[in-house]
């Protein structure tokens, strides 16, 4: 009798195991099918950032691993019900008293900081080799590399004592050393360290640097690139209620709002801005309509685009091509007075022929303008520089 009872119980357990196992398999395959069939989302409102697109497939991308890196980013960013899962995880973490949620740390002063993960050796060498190959194809162009440290590197004293992170300075030291033979590295860490008690360098709720920090970085670029405009600037607050991407991504409550500034020059240079993929033109890099949106930082250019072109009336033959992430958006306005043309390429969305762009436009200068976190995790710049996208 007892044996029959045990056998009956085991049969019931097996049925439950098969049922829930089958349900789990159906759920996984169903989500995978949805991931492939549903159209890609361009932008995450909750995280206030652009999402990864399906990577370009090529033999070289498979060989160097960039395709698989891109697939990993695409799968993570485009996963169905991703926002709901992230919100649930964040609430559970906060409820348990966590100081980290979704790779965001809650600091002792109430600010939030994005963590940093050291990229692999192959990823670092892949990027620096691609920059060197690009420089070799266009030896007459002056190259500059400005990669900004993020808050976790400069404001490390605000981190909770128990936090252990990868050393971003080691990454930046290696990167600048590797590209120094073909470019002029522009390292802003020293000036940031000197000003961190005097200037709000980073937003408390967002992963970007402030416009004040961008102004300091521009002063370093001004010297390194031998610019000669003599304009002075006056900063003005355009938004006092900025709640940034780190609040949205982590789920941590906002302890304060941030302010967004715009710097006005003493004399406005004349220029036009063309959104190349959209075939539209404006007379300003600022989009004030976004100040009342969920992401006021998009006042600068209205966000990120594959290619933007600024044409000025300045009396110069210098033309600048910028490879960038969203950190660059609030710095680029400072560069306008010194160039006849500035073309801005975001490699995450760019699929045109780069060599043709270089040859047809006659650029004199090329600037790589990124923050360390974005560049360290980037899988799009290498195929663009190799003209394999």
**What are 205-257's pLDDT values in tens digits?**
999 999 999 999 999 999 999 999 989 999 999 999 999 999 988 888 888 89
Nearest to 248 by CA among 81, 48, 92: 48
Instruction: Transcribe 189-254 into DSSP letters.
Output: HHHHHHHTTTS--B-SSSSSBPHHHHHHHHHHHHHHTT------EEEEEEEEEE--HHHHHH-PPP
Cβ 171 vs Cβ 118: under 8 Å: yes
pLDDT at 37 (0 to 100) = 63
Tens digit of each residue's pLDDT (9 = 90 or more) over 176-204:
999 999 999 999 999 999 999 899 999 99
- Of 24-28, 242-246, 304-308, 348-352, minimum mean pLDDT range: 24-28
The kind and range of the H/E element at 50 are strand 49-50
Q: Mean pLDDT throughout 354-358?
A: 97
**Of 279, 323, 284, 289, whose CA–CA distance to 304 is shortest?**
323
Share of the chain above pLDDT 70, in %: 79
Q: Which two tokens stand for residue 371?
A: 């923050």
pLDDT higher than 60, residue 12: yes
Which pLDDT score is estimated for 81?
59
Output the pLDDT for position 356: 96
The whole-number pLDDT of residue 254 equals 81
pLDDT at 314: 94
Q: Which two tokens stand for residue 338?
A: 């010194």
Q: Tell me: the pLDDT tens digits for 274-298?
A: 999 999 999 999 999 999 998 999 9
Residue whose token pair is 């409820």: 95
Reported as a single tens digit per residue, the pLDDT across 296-318 is 999 999 999 999 999 999 999 99
| Residue 223 vs residue 74, higher pLDDT | 223
Average pLDDT, the chain: 87
User: Which residues are 265's β-sheet partners?
Assistant: 233
| Whole-structure pTM value | 0.80
pLDDT level of residue 21 (50, 70, 90 thresholds) = low
Distance CA(46)–CA(295), nearest Å, equals: 10
Nearest residue to 63 (alpha-carbon basis) of 348, 385, 383, 387: 383
Nearest-10 Cα torsion for 385, 305, 373, 253 = -170
Q: How many other C-beta atoms lie within 10 A of the C-beta of residue 197?
A: 7
């Amino acid at each position: 009798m007892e044996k029959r009872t045990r056998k009956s119980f085991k049969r019931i357990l097996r049925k439950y195991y098969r049922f829930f196992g089958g349900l789990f398999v159906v759920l996984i395959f169903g989500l995978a099918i949805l991931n492939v069939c549903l159209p890609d989302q361009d932008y995450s409102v909750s995280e206030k950032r652009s999402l990864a697109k399906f990577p370009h497939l090529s033999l070289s991308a498979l060989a160097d691993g960039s395709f698989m890196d891109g697939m990993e980013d695409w799968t993570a960013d485009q996963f169905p019900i991703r926002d709901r899962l992230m919100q649930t995880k964040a609430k559970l973490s906060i409820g348990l008293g966590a100081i980290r949620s979704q790779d965001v740390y809650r600091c002792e002063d109430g600010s939030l900081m994005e963590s940093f993960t050291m990229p692999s050796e192959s990823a670092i060498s892949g990027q620096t080799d691609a920059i060197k190959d690009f420089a070799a194809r266009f030896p007459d162009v002056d190259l500059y590399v400005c990669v900004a440290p993020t808050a976790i590197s400069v404001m490390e004293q605000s981190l909770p004592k128990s936090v252990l992170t990868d050393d971003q300075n080691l990454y930046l030291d290696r990167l600048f050393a590797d590209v120094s033979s073909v470019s002029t590295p522009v390292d802003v860490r020293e000036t940031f360290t000197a000003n961190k008690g005097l200037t709000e360098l980073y937003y408390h709720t967002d992963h970007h640097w402030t416009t004040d920090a961008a102004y300091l970085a521009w002063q370093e670029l001004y010297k390194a690139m031998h610019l000669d405009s003599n304009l002075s600037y006056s900063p003005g607050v355009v938004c006092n209620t900025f709640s940034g991407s780190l609040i949205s991504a982590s789920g941590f409550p906002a302890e304060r709002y941030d302010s967004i500034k715009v710097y006005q020059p003493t004399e406005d240079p004349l220029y036009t801005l063309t959104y190349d993929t959209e075939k539209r033109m404006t007379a300003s890099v600022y989009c004030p309509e976004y100040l009342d949106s969920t992401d006021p930082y998009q006042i600068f250019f209205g966000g990120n685009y594959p290619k933007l072109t600024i044409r000025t009336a300045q009396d110069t033959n210098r033309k600048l091509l910028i490879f960038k992430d969203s950190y660059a958006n609030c710095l680029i306005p400072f560069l306008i007075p010194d160039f006849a043309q500035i073309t801005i390429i975001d490699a995450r969305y760019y699929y045109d022929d780069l060599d043709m762009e270089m040859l047809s436009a006659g650029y004199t200068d090329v600037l790589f303008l990124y923050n360390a976190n974005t560049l360290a995790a980037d899988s799009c710049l290498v195929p663009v520089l190799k003209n394999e996208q």
